[in-house]
Structure 1
Amino acid sequence: MEELRNIENYEQFKQALDTELANQAAGFVRTGYLLKKARDTDILASSGYSTVAEFAKAEYGLSKDIVSRYIAINDRYSEGGYSDRLQDKYEGYGVAKLQDMLTLPIEVVDLISPEMTRKEIAEVKAEVKAEEAISPIEVALEGTDVQQADMELCQKAIYKYAKDNPEKFKALVKWTKDGDSEELESILAPSGIAVLASRPQGIGKVFTSFKGEGQPVDILAVKNNEKHTLSMDDYAAKVREVFAQIADMPDAYEKTEVAPVQPENVIKKSESVIKKPEIESETPKSEPKESENVEKTECEVLSGEVVDNEPEEKQEEKATEEAPVAAGLDKNVLRGYAAAVSSSIKKLDRLWENRELEKCLEELTSIRWRIEQIQKNGGNAE
C-alpha cells in the first residue's frame, strides 16, 4: 500500500497499474475454478439453489453469460484446463486481453505477446475472421504461385508480405547484401514486437510473429495450423535465400517491380493497419466496425462488465457453395467440402464452449448443407 502512495510519475503509475491488473487474471482463473466445482459437484446441495447460474445470479448478481465467461477463462488459461492456477505463459496479459483472446484459436493465441495492446489483438482477430470467411475450396482454386513453388512456408510468407509492402521489399533487398539478423529484425519489427500478416497464393493467411529482440520467430498458416519456429539467425538465413538473387541485380532495390502501394498489413505497437483479404466476393462489402470492446478498459471488466468478444453479425454464406448440385461435383470439390466440414466442427467446438448459440446454429446449418452435397454425389469425398 505504501508503494502505491509513493507513485510520483507516469512510468511508476503505469507499472503499478499493469501489475495490479495482471494479478486480477489469477483471480478470474480461481473464480472460474470455484464455479466449475459448484457446477460439477454437489457443493450446492444444501444451498437451496439448483444450478451454479442460479446461485451466482442470486448471491452476486452475475448473469449466466458472465458465469460462462469465468468458466471459459479457467478452461483455456488454467493449468491443465481445470485448476486454480493460471498457466505461467499467460502471466502479464491481464484479464481483458485474456477475454479478448477467448475466441481465437489457441495456435494464434500463442503468437500474441503480453506487450500487444487490445487494439492490436482486435486486429489479429479481424485477420482471422477474414480468413475464416474464405472457404478451403476458394483457397485451393487459387492454385500455386510458380515463383514460390520451391520456397518454405516462412519464405512464402515474407516474400508475399514484401511484395505487398514495396518499402519493406526494397529494404530487404538492400539488407540482403550485408545486413545481419538484428538489422532484419529492426526492418520487420522496429519495436521488437510485431505480427506480420500475409496471404501467399494457395495457402491462405500466414502470421509471422516477433516477440522481442533475439527471440525465436513463429510462423503459422491459419488454414491448416502448420507452424514453424526458427531462431532469429535461422530465420534471417531463410529470408536471405529469398532475396539473394534479386540483390545481385544492378540497382535491384531501386528497380524491383512490386505490387502497388497498399496499407502495411503488420500488427505492431503504435503502427497497426489491417489489409483486406485478397479474395473478395463480387458484391462490395462494408468494412466491419471496430469492436467496441477495444475501447473498454480492464477496470470495466473487473467490475463485472465482461467484454463481448464477437460483434453480433450474421455469418455470410460462402459464395462458392451457393450453386446447386447439377450432374455431379468434381472429386476435388467434394474433398473441399469434407475439409470444410472438419474445419467447421472445430469452429463449432469453440463457439459452443463460449455459448454463442446463434452462431452455433449457423455453423450447424453450414455443416449440414455440405454433408448433403457429399451425399447427393455418392457420399464419397475421399
Structure 2
Amino acid sequence: MEYVQMTLTDWLEMKKKLEADLTGVTASFIRIGYTLRRIEDERLYERDGYSSVAEFARKEYGLSASTVSRFMAINKRYSIGGYSEKLAPEYAGLGSSKLSEMLALPDSDLSMITPETPRDTIRELKDFNKQEQEGSSDLDVFLLEFFSCCVGDWKSAEPTEKSLKEALNPSGSRVYRKGKYFMAFYDADIKIKRFGAEPTSLSWGNLAEWVQEHTEELIGMIRKEKDAGSTEQGQEEEEEEVAPAQKSGKSAERLNKTPDPEEKEQGQEEEKPKDPETAEKEEIAPAQKVEKPAEILDTKPDLAENMNPPEENEAAEAEEPEKTAETLDKEPVSGEVVDREDELENLIGRLKEHVENRHWNLALFTAEKIVKRLGEKV
C-alpha cells in the first residue's frame, strides 16, 4: 500500500471528520430510539399486523429484543427532555458505547462521567455500586490511604494545585477505589463518591490545601518509604557480598590441594617471604588511591525537602563521607563561596514565596534552614 505524506492541515481535518462521524453515530442512536418509542406508544406496529414493537423490529430489521430495549432506554435518558430526536448537550462527546454502559448507573452518578472517562472506569463504578465494602467513612482517612499507596508519584511535587495535578494525574484520567470510596481524577477536578451517597467534587486547589494541612503525615510517609528503600538496598548488598564466597571452582580446589613434590622439582619454587619494608609500602599504597566520588544527590526540590524539619536535613548531612584532616584545614575556594551565596538567595526566594502563599509550615522550615546556613563557617 502506498502512503502519501500528510500535512498538519490534513491531519486536523481527518480528526475533525472522525469526531463528526462518531457524534453522528450517537445522534443516530437517539433518533432510532425516539422512532421506536413512537411506534410503541402509538401502536403503529399493528398497521403491519405485528403484536409488539419488538416483533416488528425483529421481523422488519433483524433487531433483537434487547437491542430495541437499549435504543429506547438511551433515548429516554439522554435526549432533550427525555423524549426527542436530539441528544442533550450535557452528554455531547460521549460515544454510544459509553452511553449504553451508563444506563446501569443511577442518575446521581452521571456527573462522574466525562468525555475523557474510559469505558473501563464506567464498568468499575458499576461494580463499586453493587456491594458495600468494609472501610472507614472518613474522607481524610481515605485520602491518606491513597497518598500512602503512591508515595513515588507525589513525593517530588510541590504542595500546589499545578504541581499536584501533574504528579497525580499526568494522563488526564485516573481512578482509585478502596473500601467505601471511589475517586476519579480529571483535569478539571476530582470526583469522589462514598458508597450509597451522591458524588461530590474536590477541586485541585482544595486538594493542595488538604496536603498543606496534613504535612506531618505526608512527611512520615516519605520517611517510611526511604527507610524501606534503604533496608531493601542493604539486603541486596548483603546478597552481593555473600555470592562471591559461594564460588568454589578451581580456586578453592587449588587452595586445598597439597603440592606434589614432583611439581616442585619441575621448577616451581616456594614463595619467599617479602621484605618487611616492601610489604609495608604495599599495604600503604592502596590507601593513597583516590576513592570513587559519592553519588551526586538529586538537588531537585521536592515535597519532602520543602516540608521536612531541619532535624531530617541534619541527619542527611551526617551521612556524607567523613572528611580528612587535610580537607578540614583547607580554606574554601572562591567557587564554594559563590555556591553558598546562590544557595542563600534560593532559600530566601523560596521563603518569600511561601509567605506570599501563606504556607506557614514551609516558611518556618525554610527560615530555620537560612539561619543555619548563615551560622556556618564560610
The two structures have a TM-score, normalised by structure 1, of: 0.51
Runs of 5+ in structure 2 lacking a partner? 1-6, 230-378
Q: Which residue of 2 aligns with 1:195?
A: 174
Change in CA separation of 1:216 and 1:110 when aligned onto 2, cut-off 3 Å: same
Q: CA RMSD in A?
A: 3.2
Q: Which residue of 2 aligns with 1:275?
A: none
Aligned: 1:233 with 2:205 = yes
Question: Post-superposition shift, 1:112?
Answer: 2.4
Give, in whole Å, the separation in 2 of the partners of 1:246 and 1:165: 14
Q: Which residue of 2 aligns with 1:163?
A: 148
What amino acid maps onto 1:69 in structure 2?
A: R
Please tell me whether Structure 1 or Structure 2 has the larger radius of gyration of its CA atoms: 2
Change in CA separation of 1:240 and 1:81 when aligned onto 2, cut-off 3 Å: farther
Q: Please, which of 217, 222, 233 is the counterpart of residue 246 of structure 1?
A: 217
Change in CA separation of 1:126 and 1:229 when aligned onto 2, cut-off 3 Å: closer
Question: Post-superposition shift, 1:19?
Answer: 1.8
For each residue in 1:254-302, what CA deviation from the matched residue of structure 2 results, as whole angstroms up to 9, or x when unmatched?
Answer: 54779xxxxxxxxxxxxxxxxxxxxxxxxxxxxxxxxxxxxxxxxxxxx
Within-5 A mapping of 1:26-37: 26-37=27-38
Change in CA separation of 1:211 and 1:250 when aligned onto 2, cut-off 3 Å: closer
Q: Which residue of 2 aligns with 1:180?
A: 160
Give, in whole Å, the separation in 2 of the partners of 1:237 and 1:15: 39
> 2:116–2:173: 8 Å Cα contact kept in structure 1?
no
Q: Which residue of 2 aligns with 1:83?
A: 84
Q: Which residue of 2 aligns with 1:217?
A: 190
Q: Which residue of 2 aligns with 1:110?
A: 111
Q: Which has the higher helix share?
A: 2
Aligned with 2:170: secondary structure? coil
Higher alpha-carbon deviation: 246-255 or 103-112: 246-255
Q: Which residue of 1 aligns with 2:70?
A: 69
Q: Which residue of 2 aligns with 1:368?
A: none
- Count how many residue pairs are aligned between Structure 1 and Structure 2: 224
What amino acid maps onto 2:26 in structure 1?
A: A
Aligned with 1:83: secondary structure? coil
The answer to which structure, 1 or 2, has the higher relative contact order (CA under 8 A, 6+ apart) is: 1
Give, in whole Å, the separation in 1 of the partners of 2:212 and 2:170: 19
For each residue in 1:301-359, what CA deviation from the matched residue of structure 2 results, as whole angstroms up to 9, or x when unmatched?
Answer: xxxxxxxxxxxxxxxxxxxxxxxxxxxxxxxxxxxxxxxxxxxxxxxxxxxxxxxxxxx
What amino acid maps onto 2:69 in structure 1?
A: S
Aligned with 1:110: secondary structure? helix
Aligned with 2:85: secondary structure? coil
Change in CA separation of 1:17 and 1:189 when aligned onto 2, cut-off 3 Å: same
Q: Which residue of 2 aligns with 1:302?
A: none
Give, in whole Å, the separation in 1 of the partners of 2:211 and 2:113: 22
Q: Which residue of 2 aligns with 1:329?
A: none
Question: Post-superposition shift, 1:80?
Answer: 3.2
Question: Post-superposition shift, 1:208?
Answer: 2.4
> 2:74–2:103: 8 Å Cα contact kept in structure 1?
yes
Q: Please, which of 163, 170, 183 is the counterpart of residue 208 of structure 1?
A: 183
For each residue in 1:45-69, what CA deviation from the matched residue of structure 2 results, as whole angstroms up to 9, or x when unmatched?
Answer: 4332221112112222222121111
Aligned with 1:86: secondary structure? coil
